[in-house]
Structure 1
Amino acid sequence: MAKINNAFITLASIFALASAAQSCITINDLNVPGAEILNITSILQTNVSAPAPPPDPAYTGISFCDVTIVLTHPGGNDTVTVEIWLPTTGWNSRFQATGGGGFSSGIGSALLGPAVAQGYSAASTDGGNLGFGFQINPEAFDSDYNVIPGIFEDYIYRSVHDMAVVGKAVTEIYYGKAPSFSYWNGCSTGGRQGVNEAQMYPDDFNGIMAAAPVINLGQDVIAFEWPYIVMNNEKTFPSQCVFNTFLNASIAQCDGLDGVKDGLISNIKDCDFDPYSLVGKQVECDGTSNTISHSVATVYRKILEGPRTPSGEQLWYGLELGVRTNDLYTGDANTATSNGTTIAVPFPVTDEWIKYFLKLDPSYDTSTITYAESAELFAQSVNDMVNSSSNNPDLSPFHKAGGKMIVWHGLSDNIAPPGGTLNYRHRVESLMGGTGAVDDFWRLFFVPGISHCGGGYGPVPTDPLAAIVAWVENGTAPDTLAAQFTDPSGAVVNHDICRYPLVSRHDGKGDPKVASSYTCAESF
């Protein structure tokens, strides 16, 4: 039943609400290939407030038909919930599916609210609940700690495709016509889900916006844990204040490589900062004087290098120069200081992943992992995840279907190494004809100074989804993404992000806070 929160309401409004409420309760007879519908419920939600990504204020006054569908896959012992929000007025004839983060396949109102406020019909899925945020769901495993059949498949690929099928079908039933265009929007796990859709279900979406995609699961599991492994093996635990000394020194050395001193390392390729140059430097942290030691510089260097074998062979990518080791989200190189003692803190998602998926033992002590054992775990992880890492470079079906994709990744990502995304891009280019050919349907943007999915100390893309919409619907392929942030002085900085393989360079004369003062030049 409709919830009427206004003190005064017109007769026409009552009829409109009644009509919308009726359409909510008549959604049925859905067909999802390979799945069985268990339950469908719907309710009219009026004058709802929904969160918005910081720093935007919450969206208020949203009214929508809230449809919840529960389904299962025969023989899978799984239960998947899909929620679709359908705006009662102002539908823009588009459908938007939204992604998850960590172990969550979807994050609900955090993305649904903004989507509906912009006129989209929008969907989210719990993906069978492999986990919630940074925590695994123990109920997704049997007594021997094997994941229950079907739930892992739901998390990796199946639930997103089902959401696309269900979401578009419900949209058509509700409005009496199919959406004109369908889009994906997600970051981190949500970024991986989007890229995986392009690989496995190229007809699901016309446009995909995938940020900081974790598309190399097998490799990334150990890469994310690597800083924790390094600190425990070196028995050296720098505080975040000490880590920031390396950050600030690398910025001071390499900031000007793009032609302007603006606090950003835009050109990491030519930045040759040496962590050992700080050995012996005195640092004031929380009222205490610290001396940067050789062992601290070694920890920082190894974190930047990424996972290696005991003999030094590189296994995967590390974090980049200019990274804030702990910012906005819990970073890979997280430490905590209490009463003068600093300890290493593991990244929760991969710590749980190692325990449940690699060791099959939730009580396993990851702090004991040696360099030799980490190499063995890396090999096991890559082997176990060979069919689940969402990094198949063959995007030709997506290209043939006319799909367009934008991926952006912060160069200062403190969780997912941007090198993994670049590696995938190179593999796609090698298979599909080079940078120009791939740019016809997929454009990649590396964002200086930005941490995982946002935060950091640089301009964040303001509306990359709008860029993919313009590309799909108007043929306007983006050479740049508009980005913005507020600097420490309180000034608003606008700075366009250049598409790979170009980087932003200052023109030598314009206001560094204005986007028009920059051009895109070769670097990578």
Structure 2
Amino acid sequence: MKTTFAALALCVGATPLFAQQSETDCTALRDVVFSGGYVTSARAVAAQNSLPSYCEVRATALPSISIEVRLPLENWNGKYYQAGCGGFCGILGRADAGASWVNAMRPGLELGYATATSDSGHHALSVVDAAWAANNPHAERDWGWRSIGETNRVAGVLIDAFYGGQAEQAIFQGCSTGGRMAHVAAQRYPEMFDGIISGAPAMDYTGLVATAMAFFVQAKTADDGSQILGPDDAKAIGDLVMQQCDATDGTEDGLIEDPRACEIDYSSLGLSNTKMDALMKWREGPRNAAGDQLYPGGIPEGSEPFWWLWLTGNAEGAAPLVPAFTTGFTQYMAFADDPGAEYSPLDFDIETDPARLETMAEVYNGDNPDLSAFRAAGGKMIVYHGWADAIVTPYKTVDWYEQASEAAGGEETLKESVRLFMVPGLDHCGILPGPGGINAASLDPMAPMERWLNDDTPPTSIMAE
């Protein structure tokens, strides 16, 4: 997809693409001029821990997409790595402030890639803050898809100005909302990335964060506004699930290989009818009065250890994040006409409101199973999802993969370009440690992606070696 170095060498003459760049070269990027935006800062950052020294450039793509580009000062490998962002984004480079590689530029920079990310087009106080989208279709468009292309464009301008040529290869990596961005990239920009890594993709954002999450919140809320299922229930339910389902795959290892194989008898827990009704709705997922499934599946068996973060809160008073996400989304992002701050997920009408999501689904969603343009361009895609994900439930990813296989003419044909890895016991994007300590650090999709792109060796695992 990208111009080769042989061609670039002819274009740039005596300028060596792998030459060491100086701090002066870095700060000179403050004066780079390009259409539709501007550079705001450029500074050299010393090597630290696993990261090499690099030039940090911040820029704005109009109207308001904040972009950070990190350019190795030496030993650039000639390639480009772009990272997505999580939740509603809005905090530039948030992922790189922590230790995880998910949605971070770190994996690429450590390997010598020029890297970039963005805030997706707005500034927010947290990743569950959606007020920026209030009556703001331009910001919604930028969050939905345009920030992906603009980040790539601006990074390309700066790479060219700094090294004297463009990258020969490009990889995108993202999880959750970043996974949605990965799928959007494959569909809207099929020739932009040679490799795409998509984790726990919230690819049907309207179906998930509006319909499914509102349904889950309604299911757990009593008439008096109290919470029906709490952290103690989660513990009891999780223990019973593991007791009855762990050995279903033939091995008692604290991991549920595939929750679809679980058949749980909850009678010994003595749950009230109200609690059982809420639990069954969580397991089944949203349905309307006619019985139509409105989003694939529900909350999987084996995800209970993580419910405190996403669904129930904990005994120490931590509030769950699912209600926060669906509240902001339905107030300001889900509908063409924003209902505003007075709206609650409890107001969401399961019978009529899903149809009202169609306008914004066109802006946000990336669940089209037709990857023919991306595949024709030679793109490779690794998709992974934890079977114990309680917020972006894994059944949608499995459903999408099955549809994508059919659209490609069969799974074997699809596997030439797309590989899916379902990981037992893994929380959403591996944020919390699961059985045996499995989390994001247990995974390494980058190494198999590089082998696939560079050596034509298809991936068979994404577990860290």
Provide the C-alpha distance between the structure 1 equivalents of 2:245 and 2:409, rounded to a whole number of angstroms: 33
The alpha-carbon deviation at position 257 of structure 1 amounts to 2.1
Q: Is the 8 A contact 2:32 2:39 kept in 1?
A: no
Q: Is the 8 A contact 1:20 1:65 kept in 2?
A: no
Aligned to 1:237: 228
SS in structure 2 of the partner of residue 417 of structure 1: coil
Instruction: Tell me the percent identity.
Output: 26
Matched, 1:151 2:129: no
Q: Is the 8 A contact 2:387 2:425 kept in 1?
A: yes
Provide the C-alpha distance between the structure 2 equivalents of 1:310 and 1:467, rounded to a whole number of angstroms: 45
Provide the C-alpha distance between the structure 2 equivalents of 1:46 and 1:236, rounded to a whole number of angstroms: 50
Matched, 1:403 2:379: yes
Matched, 1:304 2:283: yes
Aligned pair in 2 of structure 1 residues 30, 252: CA closer, same or farther (>3 Å)? farther
RMSD: 2.7
Q: Is the 8 A contact 1:407 1:444 kept in 2?
A: yes
Query: Which moved further from structure 2: 126-135 or 99-108?
Result: 126-135
Q: Is the 8 A contact 1:237 1:344 kept in 2?
A: no
Provide the C-alpha distance between the structure 2 equivalents of 1:345 and 1:113, rounded to a whole number of angstroms: 26
CA-to-aligned-CA distance 1:169-212 (integer Å, 9 cap, x gap) = 32233223322321111110111111110111011111011100
Provide the C-alpha distance between the structure 2 equivalents of 1:199 and 1:66, rounded to a whole number of angstroms: 30
The alpha-carbon deviation at position 483 of structure 1 amounts to 4.9
The alpha-carbon deviation at position 42 of structure 1 amounts to 1.2
Provide the C-alpha distance between the structure 2 equivalents of 1:165 and 1:431, rounded to a whole number of angstroms: 30
Aligned to 1:92: 77
Aligned to 1:126: 119
TM, length-normalised to structure 2? 0.84
Aligned to 1:278: 268
Provide the C-alpha distance between the structure 2 equivalents of 1:330 and 1:465, rounded to a whole number of angstroms: 27
Query: 1 or 2, which has the higher helix percentage?
Result: 2
SS in structure 1 of the partner of residue 154 of structure 2: helix
Provide the C-alpha distance between the structure 2 equivalents of 1:22 and 1:386, rounded to a whole number of angstroms: 44
The alpha-carbon deviation at position 354 of structure 1 amounts to 0.8
More relative contact order, 1 or 2 (CA 8 Å, 6+ apart): 2
CA-to-aligned-CA distance 1:257-288 (integer Å, 9 cap, x gap) = 2221101110323221233x2342xxxxxxxx
SS in structure 1 of the partner of residue 172 of structure 2: strand
Q: Is the 8 A contact 1:325 1:334 kept in 2?
A: no
Q: Is the 8 A contact 2:387 2:422 kept in 1?
A: yes
Q: Is the 8 A contact 2:61 2:150 kept in 1?
A: no
Provide the C-alpha distance between the structure 1 equivalents of 2:256 and 2:427, rounded to a whole number of angstroms: 13
The alpha-carbon deviation at position 344 of structure 1 amounts to 7.8
Provide the C-alpha distance between the structure 1 equivalents of 2:322 and 2:257, rounded to a whole number of angstroms: 28
Matched, 1:420 2:396: yes
Provide the C-alpha distance between the structure 1 equivalents of 2:284 and 2:130, rounded to a whole number of angstroms: 32
Aligned to 1:457: 434
Aligned to 1:478: 459
The alpha-carbon deviation at position 437 of structure 1 amounts to 0.8
The one-letter amino acid of 2:357's match is S
Aligned pair in 2 of structure 1 residues 183, 132: CA closer, same or farther (>3 Å)? farther
Q: Is the 8 A contact 1:409 1:445 kept in 2?
A: yes
Q: Is the 8 A contact 2:145 2:363 kept in 1?
A: no
Matched, 1:174 2:162: yes
SS in structure 2 of the partner of residue 67 of structure 1: strand
Provide the C-alpha distance between the structure 2 equivalents of 1:344 and 1:174, rounded to a whole number of angstroms: 44
The alpha-carbon deviation at position 38 of structure 1 amounts to 3.2
SS in structure 2 of the partner of residue 480 of structure 1: coil
The one-letter amino acid of 1:482's match is M
Matches within 5 A, 1:85-234: 85-104=70-89, 107-108=93-94, 109-110=96-97, 111-129=104-122, 131-138=124-131, 140-141=132-133, 145-147=134-136, 149-221=137-209, 222-233=211-222
CA-to-aligned-CA distance 1:278-336 (integer Å, 9 cap, x gap) = 342xxxxxxxxxxx323222211111111122454321131111112645x831x2245
Query: Which moved further from structure 2: 82-91 or 376-385?
Result: 376-385
Q: Is the 8 A contact 1:254 1:273 kept in 2?
A: yes
SS in structure 2 of the partner of residue 269 of structure 1: helix
SS in structure 2 of the partner of residue 122 of structure 1: strand
Query: Which moved further from structure 2: 302-311 or 129-138?
Result: 129-138
Q: Is the 8 A contact 2:309 2:320 kept in 1?
A: no
Gaps of 5+ in 2: 1-18, 98-103
Q: Is the 8 A contact 2:172 2:197 kept in 1?
A: yes
The one-letter amino acid of 2:249's match is D
Q: Is the 8 A contact 2:229 2:312 kept in 1?
A: no
The alpha-carbon deviation at position 467 of structure 1 amounts to 1.2
TM, length-normalised to structure 1? 0.75
The alpha-carbon deviation at position 471 of structure 1 amounts to 0.5
Provide the C-alpha distance between the structure 2 equivalents of 1:400 and 1:355, rounded to a whole number of angstroms: 39
Q: Is the 8 A contact 2:200 2:386 kept in 1?
A: yes
Query: Which moved further from structure 2: 348-357 or 401-410?
Result: 348-357
Match of 1:324 among 294, 304, 308: 304
Q: Is the 8 A contact 2:140 2:363 kept in 1?
A: no
SS in structure 2 of the partner of residue 123 of structure 1: strand
Aligned pair in 2 of structure 1 residues 39, 92: CA closer, same or farther (>3 Å)? closer
Aligned to 1:12: none
Match of 2:59 among 60, 69, 73: 69
SS in structure 1 of the partner of residue 292 of structure 2: coil
Query: Which moved further from structure 2: 405-414 or 295-304?
Result: 295-304
Aligned to 1:261: 252
CA-to-aligned-CA distance 1:78-118 (integer Å, 9 cap, x gap) = 21121101111232222110110001065442423443233
CA-to-aligned-CA distance 1:377-396 (integer Å, 9 cap, x gap) = 32322454245311122211
Q: Who wins on radius of gyration, i.e. which is larger?
A: 1
Aligned to 1:442: 418
Match of 2:240 among 240, 246, 249: 249
CA-to-aligned-CA distance 1:203-239 (integer Å, 9 cap, x gap) = 1111011100110012112212322110115765222
Paired residues, what number?
427
Provide the C-alpha distance between the structure 2 equivalents of 1:172 and 1:189, rounded to a whole number of angstroms: 29
Provide the C-alpha distance between the structure 1 equivalents of 2:138 and 2:320, rounded to a whole number of angstroms: 35
Query: 1 or 2, which has the higher strand percentage?
Result: 1
The alpha-carbon deviation at position 137 of structure 1 amounts to 5.0
Aligned to 1:293: 272
CA-to-aligned-CA distance 1:395-415 (integer Å, 9 cap, x gap) = 111111111000100111011
The alpha-carbon deviation at position 130 of structure 1 amounts to 6.4
Q: Is the 8 A contact 1:69 1:82 kept in 2?
A: yes
Aligned pair in 2 of structure 1 residues 390, 132: CA closer, same or farther (>3 Å)? farther
Aligned to 2:16: none
Structure 1 outlier segments of 4+, above 6 Å: 342-345
Provide the C-alpha distance between the structure 2 equivalents of 1:399 and 1:154, rounded to a whole number of angstroms: 25
Q: Is the 8 A contact 1:326 1:334 kept in 2?
A: no
SS in structure 2 of the partner of residue 39 of structure 1: strand
Q: Is the 8 A contact 2:327 2:345 kept in 1?
A: no
